């Protein structure tokens, strides 16, 4: 079972070969204080699923969670792991391909939550389920 999951995950990530069409960012700033940080890591070329993860995440953050983003309770960052600065951040998270993290920052301490497997399993096959699960995780971490 574990080998099957690994093979499926590697297959999905190796399929990320389409060129990136745009690089929109909700926020790209350094923020301090208590917050939930949503980080989407990507390379220069992305597959349909990778693009869907980013699009669905942005849709959620600009929709029902827009007020929390506006007030800084939620910070969204995209990190291109193919450039030098992005590579440094990716190294800290031990990321080598498209990934989604939802992290809680409280009193200067980071609690990391790797949502990559969940994102790849839901973003294209069940976009509403993906957004609902991501929203639930964010709201839990905001408490």
Which domain CATH number covers 84? 3.40.30.10
Mean pLDDT of 7-15: 46
In this predicted structure, the answer to whether residue 20 has a pLDDT above a threshold of 90 is no
Length of the chain equals 143
**104 is a domain residue:** yes
117 assigned to some structural domain: yes
pLDDT of residue 1: 56
Mean predicted confidence (pLDDT) in 64-85: 96
pLDDT at 143 over 70: yes
Burial 61-88 (b: 16+ CB within 10 A, else e): beeebeebbeeebbbbbbbbbeeeebee
Q: What is the pTM of this model?
A: 0.76
As for how many domains the chain has, the answer is: 1
- Flag whether 85 is in a domain: yes
**Is 54 buried (19+), middle (13-18) or exposed (0-12) by CB count in 10 A?**
buried
* Domain region containing 66: 35-142
Q: Does 45 reside within a domain?
A: yes
Assess if residue 2 is contained within a domain. no
The answer to whether residue 18 is domain-embedded is no
Instruction: Specify if 23 maps to a domain.
Output: no
The answer to whether residue 13 scores a pLDDT higher than 90 is no
């Amino acid at each position: 079972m574990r080998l099957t999951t690994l093979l499926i995950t590697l297959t999905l990530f190796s399929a990320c070969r389409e060129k990136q069409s745009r690089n929109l960012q909700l926020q790209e700033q350094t923020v301090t204080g208590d917050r939930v940080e949503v980080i989407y890591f990507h390379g220069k070329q992305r597959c349909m699923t990778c693009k869907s993860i980013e699009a669905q995440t942005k849709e959620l953050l600009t929709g029902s969670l827009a007020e929390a983003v506006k007030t800084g309770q939620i910070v969204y960052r995209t990190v291109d792991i193919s450039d030098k600065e992005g590579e440094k951040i990716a190294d800290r998270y031990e990321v080598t391909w498209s990934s989604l993290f939802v992290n809680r920052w409280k009193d200067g301490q980071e609690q990391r939550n790797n949502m990559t497997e969940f994102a790849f399993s839901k973003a294209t096959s069940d976009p509403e389920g993906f957004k609902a699960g991501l929203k639930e995780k964010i709201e839990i971490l905001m408490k």
